[in-house]
Each structure stands twice: as C-alpha cells, then as structure tokens.
Amino acid sequence: MKEKRSIILKEDELPDTWYNVIPDLPEPLPPPMDPPEGYSRVNDLPNLLVGECLKQEMTDQRWVPIPEGIQELYLAAGRPRPLYRAKNLEEKLGTPAKLFYKSEFYSPTGSHKVNTALAQAYYAKEQGFERLTTETGAGQWGNALAYAASLTGLECTVFWVRAVYRWKAERLKFMQIFGADVFASPSTQTEIGKKLYAEDPNHNGSLGIAISEGLQDAKNDPKAVYCLGSVLNHVMLHQSVIGLETKKQMEIAGEYPDVVISCLGGGSNFGGIALPWMHDVLTKKEDIKFIAAQSEVAPNLQGEYKYDFADHAEMTPMLKMYTLGHQVTMVPIKGDGLRYHGSSPILSLLRHLGFIDAIAYPADEIHVFERAREFVLAEGFLPAPESAYSVACAIDEAIKCKETNEKKTILFNVSGHGFLDMDGYAEKLGLIQPPERA
C-alpha cells in the first residue's frame, strides 16, 4: 500500500480535553509577581482577564475538559485539521528524513489563533461581558478574536501594531467584515497610546505597547474584558489541541518524531504543537529535540531569564520568562508576529532546564522567505510569514539529515497561511509588481 500523504481525523476524534503541562514540569512554575513598588498587579488580574481563563492559568489539573460548547465551535472552525507528510518536499530535497506538517492554516481566519480565541470568547460571553479588547501583531490574532467575538455575539476592539497595520490592508478589511473596531497602535484611544503617538505619529508600535492599550481600554469599560493571544498558561492550554490531534495522527501513521519544530513569538503555536509531546519526554523519558524558530530581531529565548512585565506600560504582573526587556525597540519585520520581547513562562522554564533549542534567523528574512518558496513549490500551501520560520527550520534540519544520512522524523507546525501577506512575499522575494491597471 502507498504511504499516506494526509492523515485525517473524524469529527468524533476531536480531543475532548486540553493538556496542561504544569503538573509534569520538573520544577514548580515561578508564579506571577508584583513589582517592588506600586499597586498590586497580581490582585488586579481578575479585573483584567476572563475569570475562567484566570482559573485555568493557575490550575494543576493535567487534563482539562473542553466544554461541549467549545468543542462545537472547534468543529465549526474545521477541526480536527489534517496532518501532511511532505513527500514532494522530501523528494525535492533528496533527504532521507521524513517530514510531517500540521495544517493550522486551514482555519477560518488563517491561523492557529482561533483555538484560544474561540475558548476565550466563549468564557467571556458566559461571564456576561459584551466587548473583547486585544492587541495584534501579524493581524492573525486580532482577526481570530474578531471572528470568535462575532460568533459568540460580542463586540471586539483591536489595537494593531502600526508597522503591520500599514501594509496589511486586506487583513484590516477581513477584521472589519467581522465587525471589529481596529486602531493602529500607538493610537489616540488610550492614555499610553496618546503619549507615544504625540512623541512620534509614525511610531512603529510593538506588541508590548498594543497590549497596554488593550488593557487600558478594557479597564475603562466594565462591560469589556481583555484577551491575550499568546504567552499565558491558559493560551498554551487551549492550543494543546494542536499537539493532541497530531499525536493521534502520528500514531495512525505509525511514526514518532525525533524533532518537533515551530516558530515562536510569545509561544502559543510552539506550545500548542510541542507540549503534548513534551508530556512524553517529561513522564516517559522519550527523546525528542524541540526547536523554536525565531528572528534575530526578537530572539527572546536568547534573552535573560528573569521577572519582567508582559506589556510596555507595566500594567501586567511580572512574569518569570526569557525577555529582551519590556520597553526594548525592535525593527519591524514581515514575520512581525514574532517581534515580542518576552516568551511564555512555561516554555521559558523548559528552555531554562535545557528542553528547548532555539535558532534566530537573520533580520533581512531572505533565507526564511526563500525556504517558504521551496515549500510552496513542493507542497502548494503558502505559509504565513511567521510560519515561514517553522518551514525554514524544518528544511534546514532535513538538509542536515541529508548530509549525515540520518533518517530522522521531523514534525513541524504551519501555524497559518499567507494569503493576506503577499506584499511581504513580494518584497522579500523581489517579485515584479504587475503594471498598474488603467
């Protein structure tokens, strides 16, 4: 029989629990802390986050049931998603490695971000909120939350890092179709936004600033709540659905990964694919190499492991994480969803203990986009610029296998599609612009 190209789960094979790695960690996870001065950010958390998400943030329950209502939303969003064997790519590369990729790009708005957006919107609705506020970098998270809000009958306000807002016109329209109010950040809607905007109306913005804006906006409106698309423990929990599906699929394929790869900004898609496999490493002593693909512009996993704020205006508690500093300036890139100063506390601890490797690709992004082109030519799917980092890393690892003649099984996540990011591809690959239409 021919080897399988796609491994597809039926609807009734959708996981009915999420996986929480916290009880399996070799050391207790350092909790959020207050800064030495000022009001208690920790005590302020119930005013900032959805109650159920905050409970999940602290839980040590290993398997957390996915409410039926959220399972329904996952099914409506097209879960479970296929796992593909990248046969064409293997052949083109001439590698003895086997390459498998998870297709989070098959998502209504284009990325894995819907997995936590749907959960957060569902819980916010249950708690009686009427509006969700958030930040977005690539635009994928803002779009996912706008979609989830519209499905659950909520309003949505998005603060979008200005450097990206400028070039993703189609993504803006998509968010607006779902009824979202979208502001380039720094904006003139919030105190912190106004201050930074007055200093520089062309400010590129950052995820740290956009988070502060989303938080301030929600704090000023009792009917609104802030939702974060990455970093936090409950986001890792919701995203575990990616890896849990993938484990079933690899089992069907009769394969087990030697290497698991994904891009990492704040850590949500990396955590999503990696942590269910990390369970095997931590509890069954399996040997898997985990690689996080990053940009030299924001190599947060190579920063310092210390307590730092998650936002620019110091409104969040301090989290123990790898960080480049919460007010650092980083130049914009096309994979701008990776331009965040910090990374998930869970993944940071695992990195600190030696379980996660990281690679940072050059700021010009040429290598990454060239690798994405190789992937498109072989497999046909167009990765989001951030996902192109996963693809680049997987191809680089497959080429190393060719050089050493190692038959490794490499699993990687393609966290989103790049259909609304063509200007990024055009710039990085030097594509010729079509003549202007008359």
- By CB under 6 A, name the binding residues for ligand PLP: 111, 137-138, 140-141, 230, 263-270, 337-338, 384, 386-387, 415-416
Residue 415, SS3 per DSSP:
coil
Q: Closest separation between CB of residue 13 and ligand PLP, Å?
A: 24
User: Which lies closer to ligand PLP via its Cβ, residue 210 or residue 281?
Assistant: 210
End-to-end CA gap in the chain: 54
Q: How far apart are CA 382 and CA 376, in angstroms?
A: 6
User: Which lies closer to ligand PLP via its Cβ, residue 206 or residue 269?
Assistant: 269
User: Which lies closer to ligand PLP via its Cβ, residue 212 or residue 268?
Assistant: 268
Q: Closest separation between CB of residue 296 and ligand PLP, Å?
A: 16
User: Which lies closer to ligand PLP via its Cβ, residue 80 or residue 272?
Assistant: 272
User: Which lies closer to ligand PLP via its Cβ, residue 249 or residue 262?
Assistant: 262
User: Which lies closer to ligand PLP via its Cβ, residue 116 or residue 249?
Assistant: 116
Q: Tell me: cis bond preceding 80? Omega within 30 of 0 counts.
A: yes
Q: Closest separation between CB of residue 112 and ligand PLP, Å?
A: 7
Can you read off the two tokens belonging to residue 325? 């500093």
What are the residues facing 132 on neighbouring strands? 156, 225
Positive/negative CA dihedral, 19, 24, 25, 29? positive
User: Which of 197, 228, 205 is closest to 133 using CA atoms?
Assistant: 228
H helices of 95-205, in order, are 114-126, 140-152, 162-165, 169-177, 191-199
Q: Closest separation between CB of residue 248 and ligand PLP, Å?
A: 22
Which residue number is nearest to ligand PLP in terms of Cβ?
337
Q: Closest separation between CB of residue 387 and ligand PLP, Å?
A: 5
Q: Closest separation between CB of residue 38 and ligand PLP, Å?
A: 28
User: Which lies closer to ligand PLP via its Cβ, residue 187 or residue 415?
Assistant: 415
Q: Closest separation between CB of residue 418 and ligand PLP, Å?
A: 9
Element spanning 332, H or E: none
**247 vs 252, 262, 362, CA distance in Å?**
9, 15, 32
Give the position of tokens 């309003």. 155
Q: Closest separation between CB of residue 101 and ligand PLP, Å?
A: 13
User: Which lies closer to ligand PLP via its Cβ, residue 137 or residue 276?
Assistant: 137
User: Which of 305, 390, 311, 393 is closest to 346 using CA atoms?
Assistant: 305
Q: Closest separation between CB of residue 45 and ligand PLP, Å?
A: 20
Q: Closest separation between CB of residue 386 and ligand PLP, Å?
A: 4
Give the position of tokens 């990776």. 338
Q: Closest separation between CB of residue 207 and ligand PLP, Å?
A: 8
User: Which lies closer to ligand PLP via its Cβ, residue 90 or residue 105?
Assistant: 105
Question: Please, what's the b/e burial string for 189-224 (b: 16 or more CB within 10 A of its CB; e: otherwise)?
Answer: bbebbeebbeeeeebbbbbbbbbbbbbbbbbeeeeb
Helix axes 114-126, 68-76, angle to 10 degrees: 140
User: Which lies closer to ligand PLP via its Cβ, residue 324 or residue 338?
Assistant: 338
User: Which lies closer to ligand PLP via its Cβ, residue 240 or residue 387?
Assistant: 387
Number of H helices, E strands in the chain: 16, 15
User: Which of 260, 269, 255, 253 is closest to 8 using CA atoms?
Assistant: 253
Can you read off the two tokens belonging to residue 28? 């207790």
Q: Tell me: cis bond preceding 186? Omega within 30 of 0 counts.
A: yes
User: Which of 16, 22, 31 is closest to 61 using CA atoms?
Assistant: 22
Q: How far apart are CA 77 and CA 148, in angstroms?
A: 10
